[in-house]
Structures are given as structure tokens and as C-alpha cells.
Amino acid sequence: MRTKISKESSLNTHIVSILFLIFFLLLSISPEKKNNQLAIPKNVILLIGDGMSYSQITATEYFHGSLNMTSMPYHGTISTHSLNRRVTDSAAAATAIATSHKTRNGMVAILPDGTHLQTIAQYALEMGKSTALLASSHITHATPAAFAVHHKKRGEYFNIAELFVNSDINMILGAGSDYFLPESDGGKRKDGKNLITEMKEQGYFYINIDKNIEQISEHEKVIAFIEPMNLKPYPERADQMIRLTNSALLRLSQNPEGFFFMIEGSQIDWAGHDRNADWMIQEMIDFDNVIGSVLEFAEKDGNTLVVVTSDHETGGLTLPAGRFGNSDEFRYKFSTRRHTAQQVPLFSYGPSAELFTGSFDNTDIARKLFSLWGKQIEEPDSIGMELHQSIKK
Ligand code: MG
Ligand code: ZN
């Protein structure tokens, strides 16, 4: 009997010490805590569904089933107006999301007076973090460009490509070699400049075919242009977005300082402009699959904040009717071929994800991210704020 008791008590001691060990291990791997117990994420992955709002999400869930994004634990709603328009374009919206400043439609990370706005990606570089941008449109398109360069006219893609050369972004992923290569090398540049050669001289590794996507993880600085202009529409492009994402994450996660990664589902917007619900839903499914992959990474990593949001709604999509049991009877209607002023959702997961709840402005996204990483930015500039106040009245 005694032996048994002593065995049990030594077993109990073991269990207690193992529990303590687990407790301290958990403490040591939990994200760094600063003022007011805020958890500071080492990594941030920001996913932007261009042209995605509640109707796009609702339609996709009714046709396809529940989405990864709506399973994320925190949810906010954001206003999207630009400095000069109730209805934003992607350039002004991406500027707000990337820099926390309102600007005029068409402008890329720059104020109307020419002031360059530091982007969260540029700030991450300053902190020693790695940075990556991935889009299913060409990389010089407004949304990804607003994280890397400063330019007054979003449509000047050849100029924007030149600005990418010195952007220092570690991973430039997706498509768009046409704007980087001269006509003599199969591109569309008429000035004879080969920006890819210039970037290789700066240490970038260049990938231009699908089968080499996985080589991204072998290089610290990479350009991967799988198509000369845009990635093919989903499902034609198959799992390219997921493969690009995963290969980039393999490398990015090796930086002990962490990383910032922006991923854009660019073509949800184009399907909306086209009033093409089938295409829109396919693009939504692909975007959400990428989110699933990112959430899997973030769950394992434990130190990654994932923010999923949108720049604006496209198409004025409404869902006026639909009987249960017959998806063919599900009705949708686009009210415009353009963007709308509708508010858009935000979903978040990971350290300090709870900061991204409630109703706020698109400029608040970057303000919260900058603040988590130690840089305080003032409230929105006066004109944007006035516009916001006039809406709230
Ligand atoms: Mg876009
Ligand atoms: Zn658009």
C-alpha cells in the first residue's frame, strides 16, 4: 500500500511539474505583451478582396458553402470614401489601407500636394521585417502599388514599374512582366529599359513560369511574374495564388524580425465591373481558399495577425430573392458597372485581432497596424474626417 501511495504521489508531482513546464512554455511562445497587455504580432498578413462587400460574401456562401473568412473570430465594418469622393477607387482606398491617409481618387500613396505617405510595408522594411506583395492583377495595378510606391496617376503603369525597382519590397509576386520588359525582350516598354535586369543586379531572383513557383522560398528577394499581364481568371489559374502564398510564407517566416505580406484578390472587382456573378463567385472562392491557407499558417505560427478586408464594393450587387433548396432560383442584381459607397467588412485573427472590431474608417486599419508596431499616427486629415462626420450626421 505504502509503495503504491508513494508511487501515486510521485506521479502527481510529475504531472504538476509537467503542467508547470507546459504553462511556462506557453508563456514563452505567446506574443510579446506591451502596454495594456496588447499582444504585438510579429507578422501581419493583410488580405484585400478588391470589390468585395457583404453581398459578394453572401452570394458566395449561398452558392458555395461557408467561407473561411466568415469563420474568423473578429469582425468590423469599415467606411471607404476617399478624400474627394463618397465612392472611392482602388488607388485612394489602397492608400488609406496602406498609409492611414485619405487621398484623391487615382492617387497612389501620395497626397494631392505631392507628399509621399509612408506605407505599412515600407515601415515594416524600416523595422527589419521582410515584405511581400501578391496580386492576381499585374503588380503595378493600384492596390498592390499603393503599398510599395508613390505616384499621382494610377494608370501610368510603366512609370509605376520603374518605381518598383527601388522599392526594396522583398517579394513581388503574381504577374505583370509586360510593364518591366522592353518590347525587344517580349514586354511592352517602349523606352527600351529592362527593369528585370536592373532588379536582378540588385539581388532579385526572377521567376516567370508556373513550374518554378516553389523556388520563391529559396530566395530573399524575388520577382515572380507567372503571366505577362494578369493571372488568368479563376479557376483557369488553378492553385497558383495558394502556391505563391505558401512558397512566400516558407521564406518570410525565416526572418526573426517578422514580415508584412499583402495579398490581393484583384479580380473580384473586375467580375463586378463585368456584372458577371459566376466569375465573381469563382474569384471569391479562390480568395477564400488563400485565406484558408493563411489561417493555417497563422494558427501554427501563433505570432501572426491576419486581417481580411476590402477596398470598396463593386457592381452594387443585391440579392433580392431565392428559395431554399434550389440554387438556380437564387436571384442577384447588379445596379451599376462601377464601384459603390457601401461599407465593407473586415475579419481578423491572431494577436490583437480584437482591435479590429466595431465600425471604423479604412484609414484606421493602417493606424492600428502602425500603432501595434510602435508608430503613432494622428487622426484622419481634416477633409477626410469632415466628410466622414457629414456622413454620420
Ligand atoms: Mg485592386
Ligand atoms: Zn474597380
Tens of pLDDT along 319-358?
987 777 665 667 889 999 999 999 999 999 999 999 999 9
The tally of CA atoms less than 13 A away on the side-chain side of residue 134 is: 28
**H or E stretch including 95?**
helix 90-99
The phi and psi torsions of 343 (rounded to 5 degrees) equal: -70, 160
Which 8-state DSSP code applies to residue 175? Answer: E
At 218, the amino acid letter reads: E
Contacts of 330 (CB under 8 A, 6+ apart): 59, 62, 63, 319, 321, 322, 323
Name the phi and psi angles at 45, rounded to 5.
-115, 120
**Whole-structure pTM value:** 0.89
Q: Cβ distance 265 to 47 under 8 Å?
A: yes
Contacts of 3 (CB under 8 A, 6+ apart): none
pLDDT score, position 37: 72
Ligand nearest to the CA of 145: 1
What number is the average pLDDT over the span 165-191? 98
Looking at residue 4, its pLDDT comes to: 41
Q: Which ligand is nearest to the CA of 137?
A: 1
CA of 25 to the centre of ligand 1 (A): 42
Nearest Cα residue to 50 out of 156, 150, 174: 174
Average pLDDT over residues 106-114: 97
> Residue 392: is its pLDDT beyond 60?
no
CA of 248 to the centre of ligand 1 (A): 20
Phi first, then psi: what are they for 110, rounded to 5°?
-145, 145
pLDDT, residue 11, reads 55
DSSP H or E run through 289 = helix 277-301
Query: Which ligand has its closest atom nearest to the C-alpha of 314?
Result: 2
CA of 215 to the centre of ligand 1 (A): 26
Length of the chain: 393
Residue 379, pLDDT score: 72
Quote the ligand 2 centre to 44 CA distance (angstroms).
Answer: 25
Cα of 265 from ligand 1 centre, angstroms: 7
Query: What residues sit around ligand 2, an ion, with C-beta below 5 angstroms?
Result: 269
Cα 172 to the chain's mean position, in Å? 13
- Burial category of 392 from C-beta neighbours within 10 Å (exposed 0-12, middle 13-18, buried 19 and up): exposed
CA distance 195 to 180: 5
* Mean pLDDT to the nearest integer, 84-103: 97
In this prediction, residue 393 carries a pLDDT of 41
Residue 187 has pLDDT above 60, yes or no: yes
pLDDT of residue 30: 54
For 59-86, what is each residue's pLDDT tens digit? Answer: 999 889 999 999 999 999 999 999 999 9
**Exposed/middle/buried for residue 154 (C-beta within 10 Å: 0-12, 13-18, 19+):** buried
Q: Is 10 an active-site residue?
A: no
Closest CA relative to residue 352, chosen from 94, 3, 33, 22: 33
Task: Tell me, in angstroms, the distance from the centre of ligand 1 to residue 353's CA.
Answer: 24
Residue 153 one-letter amino acid: K
Q: For residue 224, what is the DSSP state?
A: E
Q: How far is the CA of 87 from the centre of ligand 2 (A)?
A: 11
What was the pLDDT predicted at 312?
Answer: 98
What is the domain class of 39-154+261-392 according to CATH? alpha beta
Q: How many angstroms separate the Cα of 390 from the Cα of each of 313, 339, 340, 385? A: 21, 21, 18, 9
Please give the mean pLDDT across all residues of the chain.
91
Nearest to 306 by CA among 259, 342, 254: 259
For residue 339, which ligand has an atom nearest its CA? 2
Q: Which ligand is nearest to the CA of 89?
A: 2
User: Residue 374 has which C-alpha cell?
Assistant: 510602435
Span 350-376, average pLDDT: 97
Confidence of residue 381 (pLDDT cuts 50, 70, 90): low
Q: Provide the pLDDT confidence category of residue 2 given band limits of 50, 70 and 90.
A: very low
Burial class (CB in 10 A: 0-12, 13-18, 19+), 23: exposed
Instruction: Give the pLDDT of residue 321.
Output: 76
Mean local confidence (pLDDT), 82-100: 97
pLDDT 10s digits, 27-52: 555 555 555 678 999 999 999 999 99
Distance 162 CA to ligand 1 centre (A): 19
User: pLDDT of 232-251, one tens digit each?
Assistant: 999 999 999 999 999 999 99
Average confidence (pLDDT) over 356-384: 87
Residue 260 has pLDDT above 80, yes or no: yes
Q: Do residues 171 and 216 lie in contact, with contact meaning Cβ atoms separated by under 8 Å?
A: yes
Choosing from 90, 136, 167, 310, the catalytic residue is 90
Confidence of residue 174 (pLDDT cuts 50, 70, 90): very high
Residue 383 has pLDDT above 60, yes or no: no
Write the pLDDT tens digit of every residue in 270-312.
999 999 999 999 999 999 999 999 999 999 999 999 999 999 9
